[in-house]
Structure 1
Amino acid sequence: MDNRPIGIFDSGVGGISIWKELRAKLPSEDTIYLADSKNAPYGEKRPGQILDLSIKNTELLLKKGCKLIVVACNTATTNAIDHLRATYPIPFIGIEPAIKPAALGSSSGKVGVLATRGTLSSELFHSTAKNHASHIEILEQEGTGLVELIEQGKAQAEETRALIRKYIQPMVASGIDHLVLGCTHYPHLIPLLREELPERVRIIDCGEAVARQTFRILEKHSLLSGRKERSIHQFYTNKDPELLSLFLKGEDYQVSYLDF
């Protein structure tokens, strides 16, 4: 048993969608969440910048005593996780678009992927698509501007709806029956996406799979918590604590500003 916290970092509030799945699957685990909103979006940065930011976040979480780190950002995973795993002596859980289940479930043979430039241009994304979806057509769409709107608290705004409509209509017209969300910010858009997508299109994100994998790795390495009392969750942001609190609505957790 190991009562040290799980660390989670993302380029802002997107990883809260992952944190909620982790809390549901692992209710006894303490967590520390870093929202690097000051540097969002990662998807528009160069690979070297993404790696440097991922190292910075990792080292801060290690200083806070984390036993495992979830890289709750698709772009950081695709650009940095191999280096992190080779450099630091704890397990890392990465995020990648859930292409495999979408490909297996598709009857039309066409799957849409909405992701950042950093994810869509990565070697990991292309190898995943090649290995698991070579028999279907993958329609890629860069979600330019969506992360910025979410980070401004505009996940349900009309300007966000207009951008979503612009991005998904060509994929829908092409006949997709699954839409893979390739950025952890994008599950915050699911209410709007469901209104704009036909019923036949299933939305796929990776949150539940990440939580299951985190449980497996903790169990494998004998790192599961033995805590009986209520778990402790700490949230830090380097930009706007009120925004992060907005995405934790209904939750009684304190969000602190931290200059990192």
Structure 2
Amino acid sequence: MEDRNAPIGVFDSGVGGISTLRTLAKSLPKENFIFYGDSANAPYGERPADQVYQLSVTAINQLRKQGIKALVIACNTATSAAKPQLISRYPDMPILGIEPALKQAVDAGKKHILVMATPLTISRPKYQNQAAKFKDQATIYSLPCPGLADRIELGTAGLPQISSLLDQLLAPYLGKPIDALVLGCTHYPFVKDIIAEKLGGQIEIYTGYDGIERYLEYQLRTKSLLRTENQKQTIQFMSSRDTPAELALYQDLFDHGIQR
């Protein structure tokens, strides 16, 4: 019973995972959550894989000190670069990682798919193998987005820089018949409407949240860790950049997202 009532840890390289946290908190309203953002070292997407692993270990250890019962890696880069090693390191705890929802877009019959992710996620064998697997079913455009997560870390204050960078990144794709957008970084859903508008408006967007929601609920249920009652859900924020301004930004992004 003590384990069942423990919180779920959610970890990201910075503020991006708050978009995942919002989804999980809504889908599992009886669960309490603790979010840890490694904003002092964000973003991970342009770092070497071994460094991403070491930073992930440091962040996870901070969450484990809070007595979490499960961990969600709400960072596509950390998932692709470090998830297997992290599972081996912490065998006593369910560890889930979010991944680009390319398969979901292909299964939905989409034929021209733009995948936006960090340079490291795009370069990893896991993504490259998946893209190669589906190359005969759809045209897949893989777009590394250096600097985008950095700007999203600024929240609403970063909107002018975000818009300018997106114009540069998306320019080569504006004339293509893109019918699906896969957001392979949890920072990017905060600006998904802006991206969709720049691509022409009506476009199906895939974040990977459906899969992580279902799998987290399944893992908790099969391990008898689902919380059965909770009068008031609690959400706690922690950051490696432990300042009142940073924690206030986390809370604002959780409550409101990035507002134009």
Q: Say yes or no: TM over 0.5.
A: yes
Quote the offset at 1:123 in angstroms: 1.6
Matched residue SS, 1:41: coil
Number of the residue aligned with 1:249: 255
Matched residue SS, 1:226: coil
Given the superposition, is the C-alpha separation of residues 159 and 228 from structure 1 closer, same or farther in structure 2, using an over 3 Å criterion? Answer: closer
Calculate percent identity across the aligned residue pairs: 36
TM-score where L is the length of structure 1: 0.90
d(CA) in 1 for partners of 2:191, 2:170: 12
Given the superposition, is the C-alpha separation of residues 53 and 177 from structure 1 closer, same or farther in structure 2, using an over 3 Å criterion? Answer: same
d(CA) in 1 for partners of 2:135, 2:182: 12
Check the 8 A contact 1:41/1:148 in 2, yes or no.
yes
d(CA) in 2 for partners of 1:105, 1:141: 21
d(CA) in 2 for partners of 1:236, 1:119: 25
Q: 1:151 aligns with which of 145, 150, 153?
A: 153
Number of the residue aligned with 1:53: 55
Which amino acid in 2 is paired with 1:93? L
Q: 2:189 aligns with which of 181, 187, 190?
A: 187
Q: 1:7 aligns with which of 6, 9, 34?
A: 9
d(CA) in 2 for partners of 1:206, 1:133: 20
Quote the offset at 1:174 in angstroms: 2.5
**2:100 maps to 1:93:** no
Quote the offset at 1:144 in angstroms: 1.3
Which amino acid in 2 is paired with 1:62? R
Structure 2: which 5+ residue stretches go unaligned?
A: none
Quote the offset at 1:145 in angstroms: 1.2
Matched residue SS, 2:255: coil
Residues 122-159 of structure 1: per-residue CA shift (max 9 Å, x gap): 12212332345542221111111111111122476233
Query: CA RMSD of the aligned region, Å?
Result: 1.8
**Aligned ranges 1:22-171 → 2 under 5 Å:** 22-88=24-90, 89-107=92-110, 109-132=111-134, 134-154=136-156, 157-171=159-173
**Aligned ranges 1:171-250 → 2 under 5 Å:** 171-239=173-241, 240-249=246-255
Quote the offset at 1:164 in angstroms: 1.2
Which amino acid in 2 is paired with 1:92? I
TM-score where L is the length of structure 2: 0.90
Given the superposition, is the C-alpha separation of residues 134 and 216 from structure 1 closer, same or farther in structure 2, using an over 3 Å criterion? Answer: farther
Structure 1: which 5+ residue stretches go unaligned?
A: 252-260
Q: Which one is further off, 86-95 or 199-208?
A: 199-208
Q: Which one is further off, 82-91 or 207-216?
A: 207-216
Check the 8 A contact 1:155/1:188 in 2, yes or no.
no
d(CA) in 2 for partners of 1:4, 1:242: 24
d(CA) in 2 for partners of 1:127, 1:120: 10
d(CA) in 2 for partners of 1:50, 1:178: 29
d(CA) in 1 for partners of 2:157, 2:97: 24
Quote the offset at 1:228 in angstroms: 2.9
Figure out how many residues of one structure are paired with residues of the other and give that number: 250
